[in-house]
Structure 1
Amino acid sequence: MDLVTDSVTNALVFLADNLFGQVPLLIGLITLAGLLLQRKPVEDVVGGALRAAVGVVILFIGVEVFTGGLEGFQAVLADAVGAAPPAADRSLGDFLGSHGGTIALVLTLAFLAHVVLVRLFTAARYLYLTGHLMFWISTIVVAALVTAAPGAGRPTLVLCGAGVVAAYWTLQPVWMRPLMLRVMPEDRFGFAHTSSLICLLTGWAGRAFGRLEARSTEQLVLPRRLSFFKDVNVSTALVVSVLLLGAVAAAGPDTAADRAAEMDPGLSPWVWALLVGLRFAGGIAILLFGVRMFLAEIVPAFKGLSDRVIPGTRPALDAPTVFPAAPAAVMLGFVAATAVFLLLLGLFAAAGWFTLIPPMIMLFFVGGSAAVFGNAVAGWPGAVLGGALTGVVLAVGQALTWGLLAGTAPELATLADPDWYAIAWLIAGMRPLIGGAAIWAIPVVALVTTVAVLLALGRRERRTAGERTPATESEQG
């Protein structure tokens, strides 16, 4: 019996590490399956699958190019403001060392449960395919469960964690659908990213500005001498370079010099700042090219799965897939998020509350995503609002959640997206209500809520379809 259990466990861990953890392969295989189900010619099948996989690789190359600069920016900026992470007895590395296998099992079982939910309920129309976030959501859920029930064994953590994660993957693209239809009216794919709650908040709050199509970030009219800002590559390089030059000026000379030396021994920190700004813009251009390439393949290929395996489904994809809709909004959101976060960093330090760590990568992806949706609702004021709200949520969330995860993996608080905070606090908040021994209530509540929401949405869609049919028939008559 132990041999069978170990074999199943090893197989699930293998899938987690070598399929779900390798996004190019996951996307390539799904594209391959979709094209085969559509009985496309072999040249289309092979070419489409490889183009989709290569597109994801190009996307990740772009991410690596500019996130490398953001990490350097983060280090220089932290030194400039004197920010250092609070002391902790545990680290993320320790947690992954002790619970890495549990996380892999949660990820694999959660995906299987997610597929079942999507197959059974027509209202669950999106299959969650953001591979790296599948890992991080599983990690934050396991960390929160360990915090809520320290004595829980591995089987309990795996099954409970899988239930919570499957519920999140199923519902998150669904609650983002109304906003996604503002950005992508053709509904070709869903939004699968852990910035979703701040995007929803931005969309709701942005309505106060009214629907301002004329103020879209992509249609702003600038003076002729500032018209170069309309080129996103130029504006990105200029803005990031200015931010980096400011950070270098405020930081200690050794920190900036060390970062410059990592790029090229003898390189001036000032030149390093300019080069990182240029690399950032180049990375964004590469990322957007990769996004367009893999979307061009996976979206039509997914029709095979939608028609034959999981009827009516669409892929739910990573945040960068919406960036081409409003690249200027992405930059505006990042700048607004960074400015607000730094302001709060100074206020928190002055009040002696918490030393914030600037999470530049999260400020970019979350701030950029919120800005795209804010722009779709209210134009450039909505984009600025999305970035500002991102700065507030990431700062306050980091300060509040560090202590919650201090006994497991506190770095998850400084590396987090908004949805991570919500999940961690929802699980923690249920502990006094259900008692430590009732950890099973957490996935039960999550899955029952998911089913109830999907049934309600399904009834509403059928009722709406029924109301439209008589009207259509009478018009034809």
Structure 2
Amino acid sequence: MNGILNFIVSVATTPALLVGLIAMLGLILQKKAATAVIQGSIKTFAGFLVLTGGAGILVTSLNPFATMFQHVFNAKGVVPSNEAVVALALVKYGTPAALIMIVGFIVNVILARFTRFKYIFLTGQAMLYVSTMSAVILISAGLGNGWLTILLGGIFKGTLLTITPALTQRYMRKITGNDGVAMGHTGNMGYALSGYLGEKLGNKDPEKSTEKLNIPKNLGFLRDSTVSISLVMMVVYVCLALIAGPRFVESSSLSAGTNYIVYAITQAGTFAAGFVVVLQGVRMILSEIIPAFQGIAKKLVPNSKPALDVPIVFPYAPNAVLIGFFVSFIVGVISMLIMLGLGTTVIIPGVVGIFFCGGAAGVYGNAFGGLRGAIIGSLANGLLLAWGPLLILPALGSFGADASSTFADSDYIVSGGLLGVMGKAGSGLLIVFILAFLAIVLITSLILNRRDRLHSKKLNKSNKLS
């Protein structure tokens, strides 16, 4: 039994394999030839490995940046890092977290099948992280680690990961130019906020897009995203290395004797290379997963959309990614300095999380609001990432008090914070909150479907009269 459970959990937490199998199912349901099934499944699987490999390169190049940053500011505190906090939590909460993840995925598929929210969340690591957060909060609230926690955690996780892609889909259609793919990341609430503020307060002129910046002809080479990203990151890395000093950078923990300027330039180039790999992975996935997903949409979950990981939007606005990252990072640094002055728990900017969430926020803000929208949206998202972790720390109980890391993205911050508040008020209220969350989603779906039917009848009636 344990072996079977371990196999299921391993498949569900390996995004490349999970999405490859989903693509295979979609192609089989379309009754494609065996060669087409094999080709589509393997290319989807390989594309995800390329994407995650590129993301790994980005993380590798950002880690030295974070180390130099903490040395320069001599800051000690809590670092928002989903990977770190989940690794610590799984030691104690591994079994309930794994079972919550399985129940949650089933809930997600059922809701996608029977409600208007047709999003199947396929980012395996995010599924595990939300499941782990749910397990920690529910157990800390006194529900224990039995079937009730697993069932409630699964309902909460499945409902959350069904509804949050819907918050951003309007902006995804604008970003990608179609309605075939959704955002499957735990920063969706922040992205929706960025998109909303970008639309309301940003540039209305489409020519003001971050991707149409007026660059002089002699600087035209900067339009190449690889070149511009490399140059910008080189300036940032070299400046930070100069402040940190050669003695620290050339220590065994960083460059291991390599000249500190050369090391900084190399890490900046590595970052740009990782970005290029991510873009290639995204192209491979989109060319295979959307056609393959039509089989699932038509047979199992009609009109469903795959919700994929955050780098899926990066190729559409590379300039906005950089702008969003730097704005969010600056907000994080300023917020950290304010926290030091106030004497509160200090949230040290998590560079990796800020890059992915901040970069995506820039893309969403730019979608309807251009350059100004990207800046405003990233600013709001940066404030949420900087101060939000202070809200979720109490929700994690004794685990949160002892850990030097916490959850980073907006969906953890908002949903985890709410769960924590309810848990503090009593386990009964927590149960009511989770069931009410599910009920609200179901009722909202019914109301919106009824509204659409009435609107359709009015249109038909108007057409007949005309």
- What TM-score comes out, normalization by structure 1 length? 0.91
Secondary structure in 1 matching 2:453: helix
- Identify the match of residue 193 of structure 1 among 174, 185, 191: 185
Contact map agreement 2:203 2:371 (CA 8 A) in 1: no
Secondary structure in 1 matching 2:211: coil
- Identify the match of residue 239 of structure 1 among 232, 246, 261: 232
- Identify the match of residue 358 of structure 1 among 346, 349, 355: 349
Contact map agreement 2:407 2:413 (CA 8 A) in 1: no
Give the equivalent residue in structure 1 for 2:94.
100
Give the equivalent residue in structure 2 for 1:70.
62
- Identify the match of residue 299 of structure 1 among 281, 285, 290: 290
Give 1:130 deviation, angstroms: 1.2
Q: Give runs of aligned pairs for residues 207-222 of structure 1, distance below 5 A.
A: 207-222=200-215
For residues 250-291 of structure 1, the C-alpha deviation after alignment (integer angstroms, 9 at most, x for no partner) is 2265542236x655x431121111001001011001001100
Give the equivalent residue in structure 2 for 1:146.
139
State percent identity of aligned pairs: 29
Give the equivalent residue in structure 2 for 1:184.
176
For residues 13-52 of structure 1, the C-alpha deviation after alignment (integer angstroms, 9 at most, x for no partner) is 4312x21111111111111111111111211111111000
Flag the 1:172–1:296 CA change in 2: closer, same or farther, 3 A: same
Give the equivalent residue in structure 2 for 1:127.
120
Flag the 1:463–1:11 CA change in 2: closer, same or farther, 3 A: farther
Give the equivalent residue in structure 2 for 1:461.
452
Contact map agreement 1:405 1:413 (CA 8 A) in 2: no
Secondary structure in 1 matching 2:306: strand
Give the equivalent residue in structure 2 for 1:390.
381
Structure 2, unaligned runs of 5 or more: none
Contact map agreement 1:163 1:446 (CA 8 A) in 2: no
Flag the 1:311–1:159 CA change in 2: closer, same or farther, 3 A: same
**RMSD of aligned Cα (Å):** 2.3
- Identify the match of residue 441 of structure 1 among 432, 435, 457: 432
Secondary structure in 2 matching 1:405: helix
Q: In structure 2, give the amino acid aligned to 1:423.
A: S
Q: 1:126 and 1:92 mapped to 2: Cα distance?
A: 25
Q: In structure 2, give the amino acid aligned to 1:398.
A: P
Q: Give runs of aligned pairs for residues 408-447 of structure 1, distance below 5 A.
A: 408-409=399-400, 414-431=406-423, 433=425, 435-447=426-438
Structure 1, unaligned runs of 5 or more: 1-6
Give 1:412 deviation, angstroms: 8.6
Secondary structure in 2 matching 1:315: strand
Give 1:403 deviation, angstroms: 4.2
Flag the 1:432–1:356 CA change in 2: closer, same or farther, 3 A: closer
Q: 2:25 and 2:169 mapped to 1: Cα distance?
A: 25
Q: 2:350 and 2:460 mapped to 1: Cα distance?
A: 51
Residues 1:372 and 2:392 aligned together: no
For residues 157-194 of structure 1, the C-alpha deviation after alignment (integer angstroms, 9 at most, x for no partner) is 21111111011011111222222222234201111111
Deviating more after overlay: 352-361 vs 70-79: 352-361
Q: 1:98 and 1:182 mapped to 2: Cα distance?
A: 43
Q: 1:412 and 1:19 mapped to 2: Cα distance?
A: 30
Q: 1:284 and 1:32 mapped to 2: Cα distance?
A: 28
- What TM-score comes out, normalization by structure 2 length? 0.93
Deviating more after overlay: 163-172 vs 183-192: 183-192
Give the equivalent residue in structure 2 for 1:113.
107
Q: 2:124 and 2:334 mapped to 1: Cα distance?
A: 33
Q: 1:153 and 1:134 mapped to 2: Cα distance?
A: 19
Residues 1:271 and 2:262 aligned together: yes
Give the equivalent residue in structure 1 for 2:250.
257
Give the equivalent residue in structure 1 for 2:163.
171
Flag the 1:86–1:364 CA change in 2: closer, same or farther, 3 A: closer
Secondary structure in 1 matching 2:398: coil
Give the equivalent residue in structure 2 for 1:4.
none
Give the equivalent residue in structure 1 for 2:38.
46
Residues 1:137 and 2:140 aligned together: no
Residues 1:381 and 2:372 aligned together: yes
Give 1:143 deviation, angstroms: 1.9
Q: In structure 1, give the amino acid aligned to 2:317.
A: A
Give 1:238 deviation, angstroms: 1.5
Give the equivalent residue in structure 2 for 1:327.
318
Give the equivalent residue in structure 2 for 1:3.
none
- Identify the match of residue 338 of structure 1 among 329, 336, 343: 329
Deviating more after overlay: 198-207 vs 331-340: 198-207
Q: 1:28 and 1:93 mapped to 2: Cα distance?
A: 25
Q: 2:453 and 2:313 mapped to 1: Cα distance?
A: 29
Contact map agreement 1:345 1:356 (CA 8 A) in 2: yes
Give 1:399 deviation, angstroms: 3.5
Secondary structure in 1 matching 2:210: coil
Deviating more after overlay: 327-336 vs 227-236: 227-236
Q: In structure 2, give the amino acid aligned to 1:239.
A: V
Flag the 1:412–1:79 CA change in 2: closer, same or farther, 3 A: closer
Q: In structure 2, give the amino acid aligned to 1:67.
A: V
Flag the 1:399–1:239 CA change in 2: closer, same or farther, 3 A: farther
For residues 126-151 of structure 1, the C-alpha deviation after alignment (integer angstroms, 9 at most, x for no partner) is 1111111111111112222233x135
Flag the 1:97–1:405 CA change in 2: closer, same or farther, 3 A: same
Give 1:437 deviation, angstroms: 4.3
Deviating more after overlay: 266-275 vs 281-290: 266-275
Q: 1:151 and 1:306 mapped to 2: Cα distance?
A: 37
Q: 2:3 and 2:454 mapped to 1: Cα distance?
A: 46
Give the equivalent residue in structure 2 for 1:283.
274
Flag the 1:222–1:47 CA change in 2: closer, same or farther, 3 A: same
